[in-house]
Structure 1
Amino acid sequence: MTLPRRGLTRRQFGAGVASFAMATATTARSEAALPTIDTHAHVFHRGLKLAPGRRYAPDYDAPLSLYLEQLDRNGMTNGVLVQPSFLGTDNSYLVDCLKRTGGRLRGIAVVDPVIPAGELGELDRAGVAGIRLNLVGQPLPDLASSEWKGLLAGVKAMGWQVEIQRNAADLAVLVPQLLDHGITVVLDHYALPDPKLGVTDPGFQSVLKLGASRNVWVKVSAPYRNGPAGENFAKGAYPLLRSAYGSDRLLWGSDWPHTQFEATQTYAKNRQFLDTLIVDKSERAQVLASPRPLFRF
């Protein structure tokens, strides 16, 4: 290394080199310390009581222990458990799992609109960070009704999110109503546009415009739920979502154990697809870390 001819003494120059090396090492440690968060997974076992009117129920177990193994094997620091629709509003297994993991996991519950405020508080203390509206095949809720207004007020007071699974055309109608209540919104699985239309679906185009609110997040998860060509769709949708929302408003989720797609999907396959989807390492690291404030890790 050549010393400068003037300006700095040997001691000053050496101190500068040491300072630069320390800063570089600090940056490297900081990047290595970034969390890697899986924002969408389900746990259950066949001994749990199933909800009446369910559309589907799996014939196998997906226990907490097995999910934690998936996180460890795939280098994930944290995870989010989403209440399965077939368990309805009984969140007891979800809460038990959260309590057993010492803060490594957060939860998204399914609740009745008339749930008492005290029960919301109990869920909050257990590590629940929001509620889910799985509206696939369901009538749209009347968010202007008194019971829904009461629930949304409670959600806002908790600083929670509302996570929605619904086709993009209906999201374009529902999400602005939630934003009017001051609610943070998370959209599942690329916002589920019409598989035949993909990114040209007018509903998906409307969802892109919601990014300007800075209070909507989108999960780049489960591309297979967007039709047989789901991975190709995801590759076309991601740049549009990144442009509309910013990578800090995009979330990754494994969708483990890939209910109804178990024969073709694995945790590792979905994690590896993320590397294909987001080639830039720093951008991918931001997407994996961006859920930290949203889920209060």
Structure 2
Amino acid sequence: MSAPAVLAIDAGQSGIKVRLPQGVRGDDLVLDGIRTGEPLLPQLAAVVAATRERTGARVDTVAAGISGLTDANADAAAMLDLVRDLGVRDVLLAHDSTTSFLGALGDRAGAVVAAGTGVVTLAVGAETTARVDGWGWIMGDAGSGYWIGREALDAVMRAYDGRGPNTMLTAAASDLWPDLSQAYMTLQADPDRVRIVASFAAVVARAAAADDAVARDITARAAHELAGSVRAAIAQVRTDEPTFPVCSIGGVFGSPLLHADFVADLHGSDESVRLVDPVGVGIDGVAALVAVTDTHPLAALVHRAGLAH
């Protein structure tokens, strides 16, 4: 019997990557991101249908890593019902922290902090796992792109009011909202406000590189938040490992200053925690879901339905 044809879906808010059965990195399709205000599973089913129509590929198994996946949405059986008529026999669903981990570190103990618009950290030990943060832009995501952007806009308005120091961040905000006194109303009414706020993370990175004191402070505090999340996750799973590998992935770490601050903060507290380069990306981890055995610490985080389950 031939191996099942696995369609891998890496579903984020900013975009969805799809890897065809027997596909390789570089050939992934890119679609619009998931819409958090709408039911999730029909969106994923539509991705499967559109991919089959576009490529004609046979799909036996659908594996998906999903940003912000909740217990209420992690219904693999319901997802299978939506795609069964497309020939799908098995479905695996996981939070993107799980697939980010598998993509970055593969099948070994360690911790992965994935920081983009949001942020989540997952640590995996010999027998247990621990997720830290990933609680969204209202309640968490400390050190994320949104968090950095929110701190930037707060600093801009403090400078505008005379409550804080001047900063070159003001120029970027003024380019977007010439009348800063009305910026908050415009932003609150914009359905794309989360992405807009998070976009200021790149502004902070540039200003920090230009030695703007306010941007430099935001960068250092973001790095400290991210390192703290990693430490908290590791503390919950680590046993007697002599070293513990950590991967930092996502656009936030594209700031050289933030990355350097993160490394210094992390290593300063425990030299046995070792930063390593990722072996792959998120969609590689999605494709790897099918190899997660029932005895693996991550097994409890993978929701399954179909012939093999």
Q: Mark yes or no: TM-score above 0.5.
A: no
TM-score (norm 2): 0.32
Specify which structure has the higher proportion of strand: 2
Higher relative contact order (CA 8 A, sep 6+): 2
TM-score (norm 1): 0.33
